[in-house]
Amino acid sequence: MSKLMPFVLAILASMFCPDTTALIVTTAKEKSAELTPQQRRGQAIYLTGKSLSGRDIEARLGSGASLPASLMPCVNCHQHDGKGTREGGVSPADIRWSTLTRPYGTTDNTGKTAPAYDRKSIKKAISLGVDSGGAPLSQIMPRYQLSHQDMEDLVAFLTGLGSYRVSGVWQDKIRIGIILPKKALPQKSQKGSIAKSQAIKQLLNSYFREINQQGGIYQREIEAVFIPGPADFSIQALARFRQALINSQLFAFVASELKEIEKLVAEFTLSSGIPVIGAFSPRPETQFPLNPNIFYLLSGQSRQLSALQSFSRGDYFKQHSNAENSPKQQTLKPVILIEASAGYLPLKQQFSAEENHIVLLDTMLSDKKLKDILTRLKQQDYNLVYLLGSSVNQQRFISQANALAWWPYVMLPGSQFGNALLASPLKFNEKIFIALPNLPFDYKKGGIALFRQLSQKYQLSPDYQNSQLLALASAILLRQGLMTTGRELTPTKLIANMEGLYKFETSLTRPISYGPNRRLGTSGAYVVSLDLVNKTIIPVSNWLEVE
C-alpha cells in the first residue's frame, strides 16, 4: 500500500453531577417555564431510575428479586412523552397526566376500565402495582420501592407529563450543542486547542448555514450552541460546565469531544434525556447497560487494541521476518505493558493472564525502574510489545529500549498515539504499529467535494482539516437522523431512528451502523506502521472489523 502524508496523523488528535433543568414546560397559557426543583428531581428518577439524593431505588417484576431501578427506569416503556410504544407484544399504558385524570376514567388495551387517577392512587400503582380501582396491574409493570421524598418528586414530575415541551425545539428552530475541546490544557497547548476549536466552530457554522438556506430541517433552522470544555477539573469548574449544559436548553449534541468529561456528560444525558450524536472519545462507554443516548462516531482504544491483536495473529510478521531490524527468532513473543491508571487498566481484561506476560507500570515509574524492567524483558527475548499508556511513557519506553539496543515491534491503539513518536530512533523504523479507526481511504468524492465547497465559500481554516472532516461527518449523521425523524421531534424518536441506521454513508468515514445494542458507528480499525525516515504512515492492513 502507498505511503500517506504526515497530515493524516492529525486524525488522532480529534479522537482521541446530574441535573435536569435542560427541559422546560409549556402550556396553552404560557410560552415556557422551567421545571420546579422537585419536578427536576422527579424527572431524573423517571429517566434514569436513580435519585439525585443518592438514595437507593429498587424495582421488582412479579415475585422476582429486587433489582436496581436503573435497570428498568420508567422511560424504557413509557418513553419521554409518557405515551409509551408497543414493543414485543407489550403495550405500555399512556401515563400522561391528562390521560390518567380523565373524569370518566381510563381503559387499558384489554378493555378493562378504572376510575380516574389522583396523586394517591398513582403512588399505589408505582409501589404496589394496583390500578386506581385496586385491581392488579400487569406483571410486566415493575413495583418500585423508593423513599417518601423520591415518590413525591416522581409524582410531581408525572403531574406535568404530557405538557412538557421538548428541550431545544421551537416552531422555527432546533438548538444543537457542540462541546469543544476542553480548556484544561498545559499553557503551551492552549493556543493549539483554541485554534482547533475555532476551526471546528467555523466548519459546523458553515454547514448548518447551508442547511438553513435550503429550508432547514422541515422548516426549522439549526441553531448551533458552542460550549467550551471545563477550565480545569476542580469541583467548581465542573459545576460551571454542567450549568452551561443546562442553561443551553438543547435538543441534541453533535460532534462533541468527550475525553475526560465523558462520565459527567453521560450522567447529564441520562438525567436530561438529551442525545449525543457522533461523539468523539478515546474510550467510548460501550459496556452494558448501554447509555442509550450517546452515539459514538468511531471506535475507541478497546476496539483498536482488538484490531491490533487480530493483526498480530495474521501473516504480516511471517512475511516480513527477514526485513531489516526484524527479531531474530521467527516466533512472536508478546509482552503487555500497561500503565497502572484508570484510563488503561481496563485494557488488561483483553488479555489472558495465563497466555500473556502482563507488566503493570506505575504512573510515576522512575527511569531506573523502567530500565530494569526493559532489561529483563530483553533478556527474556520478548519481541513484541503492546504499549498501553500515555504519550509521555511511550516516549520513555522507546528511548530506554533504544539505549538498551532492544528494538521489538511496538503495538499502539491510535487513540493514545502521540506525534512525538515520529521522532523515534530509526532502529524502530516500520516497527511501530498503530490502529486507526479512520484513514483517507474512507473519504468519498461527495464528502471531499462538500468540504471543499464549504472551505472555499466560507474561507475555512486550512489547519486541523482532519478534525474538521470528522466534525462534518458527525453533522451529516445528525442531519440524517433529524430528517428521518420528521417534524415531530422527540429524543425518543431520534434515538430510535439512529438505532435504525445501517451502513449509512457519511462519505468521510466507513459506513456507519447503529442498533439497539450498538453505539459505535464503526467497530474496528486499520493498522499502519510508522515510516520514521519520511515521517509518514504506511497502511499494512485492510479494515479489521471487531465484533
Of 193, 246, 258, 173, which Cα lies nearest the Cα of 17?
246
pLDDT band at 327 (very low <50, low <70, confident <90, very high): low
Integer Cα distance of 386 and 312 in angstroms = 10
- When mean pLDDT is compared across 22-36, 261-275, 378-392, 498-512, the lowest value belongs to 22-36
Q: Pseudo-torsion of CA 453, 459, 465, 469, nearest 10°?
A: -40
Grid cell in block for residue 169: 425545539
Among residues 296, 55, 26, the alpha carbon closest in space to that of 171 is found at 26
pLDDT digits (tens, 9 = 90+) for 73-121: 998 889 888 888 776 667 888 999 999 999 999 887 777 899 999 999 9
Per the structure block, which three cell numbers stand in for 266? 453521560
Q: Which three cell numbers, joined as nine digits, stand for 88?
A: 414485543
CA distances from residue 503 to 75, 98, 113, 485 in whole angstroms, order as listed: 28, 41, 46, 18
Question: What would the pLDDT profile of 341-375 be if each residue is shown by its tens digit?
Answer: 999 999 999 998 777 899 999 988 999 999 999 99
Lookup: cell for 296 = 459514538
CA 257 to chain centroid, in Å, comes to 9
**Residue 462, Cβ density class (10 Å: 0-12 exposed, 13-18 middle, ≥19 buried):** exposed
H/E element, 219: none
Residue 151: other Cβ atoms inside 10 A: 20
Closest CA to 405 of 434, 432, 447, 374: 374
Question: What are the backbone dihedrals phi and psi of residue 435, each rounded to the nearest 5 degrees, phi first?
Answer: -95, 125
pLDDT at 62: 84
DSSP E strand boundaries for 200-348:
221-227, 252-254, 276-279, 294-296, 334-339
For the CA atoms of 417, 420, 424, 428, the dihedral, rounded to the nearest 10 degrees, stands at 20
Peptide bond into 6 cis (omega under 30): no
- Distance between CA 535 and CA 174 in Å, rounded? 44
The crossing angle, in degrees rounded to 10, of helices 148-158 and 119-128 is 120
Measured distance CA(29)–CA(15) in Å, rounded: 46
Q: Give the pTM.
A: 0.83
* Predicted pLDDT at 163: 81
Q: Are 305 and 350 in contact (CB under 8 A)?
A: yes
pLDDT of residue 174: 98
For 13-53, what is each residue's pLDDT tens digit?
333 333 333 444 333 233 344 578 899 899 989 988 999 88
- Phi–psi pair at 262, nearest 5 degrees: -60, -45
Q: Which pLDDT band, with edges at 50, 70 and 90, does 10 fall under?
A: very low
E-state strands within 88-150: 106-107, 113-114, 143-145
pLDDT of residue 17: 33
Q: CB 544: neighbour CB atoms within 10 A?
A: 20
Residue 189 has pLDDT above 60, yes or no: no
Q: Torsion over CA of 200, 206, 211 and 214, rounded to 10 degrees?
A: -170
C-alpha cell at 504: 449509512
In whole angstroms, give the CA distance from residue 55 to residue 50: 8
